[in-house]
Amino acid sequence: MEADLNEYLNGKFNIEPKDIRTYSPLTLAYIGDAIFDVVIRSILVNKGNTPVNKLHQRASQIVKAPTQAAMILALMDELTDEEHDWYRRGRNSKPHTKAKNASTMDYLEATGFEAVMGYLYLTGDMDRICELVTHGVDLVGLDILS
């Protein structure tokens, strides 16, 4: 049985689902950033008890903009047309914040990556999120899945 967290939460809080096309790419990036963080933290935590400061350091290295940018660029040939469209829209959006520890280009690429994650989450496709994360961390050489 596939779990759809967004659908579950909508049901619990009596929220009517919205048409994904009504969301801005920055809104998708906002939720996509959180979902990517939860996925990475879940992988790290579920590998066994580890001091929290080590968990935080490891997660921070993965969820930062330069790593997300590297992942999406490595995955580009594997994106569906619709995922590529959401990536492009996210990357080309005009964020109202500046990158703290990343180049502007990495920040924009990461925003595109997060928009794809948000799109997949809101459409209930956690399997695809996991597929992209699994392949992405492998392609950029992150050793978190072994």
Q: What are the residue numbers of the active site?
A: 33
Residues ≥6 apart with Cβ < 8 Å to 76? 84
- CB of 28 closer than 8 Å to CB of 114: yes
Q: Which residues of 73-87 are buried (b: 16+ CB within 10 A; e: fewer)?
A: ebbeeebeeebeebb
Contact present, 102 and 66 (Cβ < 8 Å): yes
Cβ-based neighbours of 62, under 8 Å, separated by 6 or more: 40, 137, 142, 144
Which structure tokens are listed for 9?
Answer: 């939460």
The rounded radius of gyration (Å) of the Cα atoms in the chain is 15
